[in-house]
Amino acid sequence: MITVYAFALSALGMAGVYLGIAFLNGFLFPSVFGGLYALTDNVVLRIIAAFPLFFGPSNYLIGKAYEIGGATIGGVGTVIFTVIWMTLMAIIVDQAKVNLWVISGAMVAIFGCLMVVHGIKGF
């Protein structure tokens, strides 16, 4: 159960990081954040706005994942969800088609991470 909770915290934390990156680039819900994008047309202002909205809570969640699951579970969860969210963001932003190569590449990366957990923890 601790592993599932740590993975869930990693998933939420990394989702926040990638939502923050989309916010910095102006891709995240332009209809919702349009006014904030207009007020923060300077990169520095947008970074300052992104910290309390995305990066601060994300760092807290990832830190909690490491605290609960240890370096193995927290680290592997972070890597797994980095692969997942990075792949999804690339598909959305680049409007790429999902094909067998994308799915199999992501699955190989995720399976490799789970093999590391199994090798270290033995479960």
12-41 pLDDT tens trace: 999 999 999 888 888 888 888 888 888 887
pTM of the model: 0.81
Coil, strand or helix at 105: helix
pLDDT at 61: 95
78 touches 63 (CB < 8 A): no
Q: H-helix or E-strand containing 59?
A: helix 56-94
Which of 98, 76, 54 has the alpha carbon at shortest distance from 10? 76
pLDDT at 66: 94
